[in-house]
Amino acid sequence: MKNIYLILILIYSTFTSQAQIQGYGLNDVVDDFTVTDIHGDEHNLYTYTAEGKYIFIDFSFTTCGPCQLTAPIFNEFYDKYGCNSGDIICLSIFGINNDHDTDVEAFENAYGGSFNHAPAVSIDGGATPVDSNFNPYQYPTVCLINPNNQIIELDIWPIGDIDDLEATFPVDFNPEIIDCSTIGINDLEQTALFSIYPNPFDGKQFTIKLNNSNFADVSIHNILGEKIHSLVVTETTQIINTNLITGTYFVTVQTIDRTTTHKLIVN
Q: Are residues 14 and 87 in the same domain?
A: yes
Q: Are residues 202 and 163 in the same domain?
A: no
Give me the domain span that covers residue 205. 184-266
pLDDT beyond 60 at 189? no
What total of structural domains would you count in the chain? 2
Q: Are residues 142 and 175 in the same domain?
A: yes
Residue 127's SS3 state is helix
DSSP state of 98: -
| Residue 190, domain CATH | 2.60.40.3080
Q: Whole-angstrom distance between the N-terminal and C-terminal Cα of the chain? A: 22
The reported pTM is 0.67
Q: Last residue of a domain, which of 143, 161, 180?
A: 180
Q: Are residues 16 and 145 in the same domain?
A: yes
pLDDT beyond 80 at 170? yes
pLDDT beyond 70 at 97? yes
What pLDDT is stored for residue 180 in this prediction? Answer: 81
Q: Are residues 114 and 25 in the same domain?
A: yes
Give the orientation angle of helix 2-14 with respect to helix 65-80, to 10 degrees: 120
Residues 36-52: tens digit of each pLDDT: 998 888 899 998 999 89
Average pLDDT over residues 72-79: 94
